[in-house]
Amino acid sequence: MSRPDGERPDVVVAWLQNDYGQLGRPAEAIAHALVDEGLARRVAYVEPFRPGGAESVLNRSQLRGLDVYAGEGPVPVGQHEFAAMVIGTRKRETKGLAEPPAK
């Protein structure tokens, strides 16, 4: 049962593996159900960083209304560093978690 935007929370689902879409993990099913059933206003699915280059890079893709964040490179560990990366990713996109959707 869908709720009005003002009553629906923003939800972050985190998973400990870098395999979104490959194995149908329960965390993916929960994240998609929150979107599909209108139980959350926005849902982000966050995977851990993969080893990579010298710089941390965070990528965002949208799948069926779900924002999937996956990064590579050194893990951002500074104060609010990961949040700043999410906001930076949002600035490159039109919709994301950093700002409410346009009405």
Q: Find how far residue 41's CA is from the centre of its chain.
A: 13
User: Domain residues of the chain, as ranges?
Assistant: 5-92
Average pLDDT, the chain: 78
Please state, in angstroms and rounded to a whole number, the distance separating the CA atoms of residues 59 and 73: 11
> Where does the pLDDT of residue 97 fall: very low under 50, low under 70, confident under 90, or very high at 90 and above?
very low
Over range 56-68, report the average pLDDT. Answer: 88
Tokens for 56, please give them.
Answer: 């941390």
pLDDT for 16: 75
Global pTM reads 0.69
Cβ neighbours, 10 Å, residue 66: 20
pLDDT for 90: 64
pLDDT for 93: 57
